[in-house]
Amino acid sequence: MGSRSDTDLAYIAGFLDGDGSIMLQVKSRSDTNRGVRFMATICLYQDTRHESPLLWMREIFGIGYISHRKDSITELRVNGFASVRRILILLQPYIRFKQVQVTALLNACEILGGRRVGDLNEVQLKELVDLVFLIRENNYKSRQTLTKETLLLRLGLTP
């Protein structure tokens, strides 16, 4: 990661607390033996007219990509268990409102880091499912229709 100070990290953590999302997403995949893939994501949002803080944060982290939505919102997204874990560890001391989500996603990163879903045992898979829904329950809104029972069945586990 680029240069960073405690002040920079505290600022970014505050931004994430207010205008960010911490997600453990479940993506359908036909090319895996379990049919799903988990994806760790940090997303920071800002009005496109004021996107410069997002560009600065991307420079600080040295990772992520910027996208411009049709509704005049710009996003900075960081995906991947190793990258998300590294950033969350740096920001965690300064997070105030999304500590539950940060802790849950760090746990998921620990379980999944460097492993495929097919390599996980039943206990690890059930823990991941619990973490997905813990994060969702603590986020402001989710348009997801996937239920816990459905995800357990897709993973070949008994609800």
Q: Is residue 147 part of a domain?
A: yes
Domains: count for the chain:
1
Average pLDDT, the chain: 89
Please give the C-alpha separations between residue 151 and each of 31, 139, 147, 158, in angstroms, as whole numbers: 17, 19, 6, 10
Residue with tokens 């994060």: 135
Q: Is residue 133 part of a domain?
A: yes
Residue with tokens 């090319």: 31
pLDDT digits (tens, 9 = 90+) for 127-150: 999 999 999 999 877 666 788 898
The per-residue pLDDT for 28 is: 77
pLDDT digits (tens, 9 = 90+) for 75-92: 999 999 999 999 999 999
Q: Is residue 1 part of a domain?
A: no
Range of the domain at 131: 6-154
CB 112 within 8 A of CB 79: no
Chain mean position to CA 40:
4
Question: Distance between CA 95 and CA 103 in Å, rounded?
Answer: 10
Assess whether pLDDT exceeds 90 at residue 12: yes
Write the single-letter amino acid at 105: L
Helix (H) or strand (E) holding 145: none
Cβ burial of 5 (10 Å; 0-12, 13-18, 19+) is: exposed
**Nearest CA-CA partner of 40 in 97, 96, 148, 114:** 114
The per-residue pLDDT for 32 is: 60
Q: What is the CATH number of the domain that holds 78?
A: 3.10.28.10
Question: Distance between CA 109 and CA 80 in Å, rounded?
Answer: 9
